[in-house]
Amino acid sequence: MVSGSRASEFQDTMIKRAKGVTISQVADAAGVARSSVSRAFTRPDMLLPETVERILKAAEALGYVPNHTARALSTGRHGNIGLIVPDIANPFFPPLIQAAQLEADRSDFCIFLGNTEENPKQEDKLVGRFAGQVEGLVLTSSRLSDERIRAHASQLPLVLINRDLEGIPRVLIDSGSGVRQAVEHLAQLGHRKIVYVSGPSNSWSNKQRRAAIRTAASSFRMELEVVPAVLPSYSSGRNVVDAILSAGATAAIAFDDVTAQGVLAGLSERKVAVPATFSLIGCDDVLGAVTYPGLTSISNRSNEAGRLAISLLLEMLSNRSIRDVRYVLETHLVVRGTTAAAG
């Protein structure tokens, strides 16, 4: 399968490592001490303006670039932060990662990305590997136990997304508000019995959504049945369609959009018209705009969560203190084409 071909078999070339210009060379060129060069970059106000200028000019001429590693060694600050997610391929995460990176970038921080494949052991290993090279860490939808998380938090600044652990700064996307709106929406459309297609059992978000739906359904006097989908995936959703239909419901809310899309496909295959005879609502709003009919969903805000988590972490780093903060991002229903009056 791999058709590997070398363009020119024998053109191996030794790498000429860019032999980094050092602070000493700049110092010699400018006729000052190394410390002055250092200060010219870090605290120019300590030096005479003309000295600073002379140094900068010399540096410029030599093509000097401060060595990040050396600086990190003496200051202890390397300007990197780690971001760990369970599954990059799940469309929930890319916007979060993107926003996180943008925010980090604004303060000249770089992001180390870790992907745990939904595996707690891998997550633990990654945290360990990152620990030495980052100033702080953001754990997204962590699958680790409370104890492990606390252990890590005692080693380095940590911010959690979608995990509610007292004493550790955290950003939570509260689907509760959106879920209530979704149930109310279905109630107003005349649906009397609905299904919740649940997600991973160890997920904080899943527990939270299930509870919110249960409460809302009972307050609107609707019947609710929970149909479990093992993983938040397209095929899981597709596999539970029969279970959904045999429950005798006229509408369903799925754990996330990916699952909902699977359900949508399964319904199509079985010639069940959406939304004419069955209504469907997703969660996370990552696919809503790209299905046809457009998927009614609960807004996501993962990008805000990413941005917020990073800015929280940066704040912790500059203050060298942690506050027991708990940011909650509320969500709301986005109505599109997969919901209509009960047939």
Contact between 154 and a copy of itself by CB under 8 A: the answer reads: yes
47 binds, among DNA, a copy of itself, none (CB under 5 to 8 A by kind): DNA
Contacts of 314 (CB under 8 A, 6+ apart): 81, 103, 104, 107, 109, 136
Which residues contact residue 70 at a Cβ distance below 8 angstroms, ignoring those fewer than 6 apart? none
List the one residue out of 267, 225, 264, 214 whose CA is nearest residue 247. Answer: 225
Taking the complex as a whole, the smallest distance from the CB of residue 157 to DNA amounts, in Å, to 17
Q: Does 36 bind DNA (CB under 7 A)?
A: yes
* Residues sharing a CB contact under 8 Å with residue 159, sequence separation 6 or more, in sequence order: 136, 137, 138, 139, 168, 169, 170, 171, 309, 310, 312, 313, 316
CB nearer to a copy of itself: pick between 204 and 234: 234
C-alpha span between 159 and 172 (Å, rounded): 11
- The answer to the question of residue 320 lying near a copy of itself (CB under 8 A) is yes
**Residue type for position 250:** T
Stretch that binds a copy of itself, among 23-31, 137-145, 196-204, 259-267 (CB under 8 A): 259-267
Cα separation of 86 and 88, whole Å? Answer: 7
Binder among 50, 69, 147, 271 for a copy of itself (CB under 8 A): 69
Q: Within 45-104, which residues bind DNA (CB under 7 A)?
A: 46-48, 51, 64-67, 70-71, 73-75
Contact 251, 281 (CB under 8 A): yes
34 binds a copy of itself (CB under 8 A): no
Nearest approach, Cβ of 76 to DNA (angstroms)? 7
Binding residues among 169-228 for a copy of itself as defined by CB under 8 A:
none
Binding footprint of DNA on the chain (CB under 7 A): 20-24, 31-36, 38-39, 41-42, 46-48, 51, 64-67, 70-71, 73-75
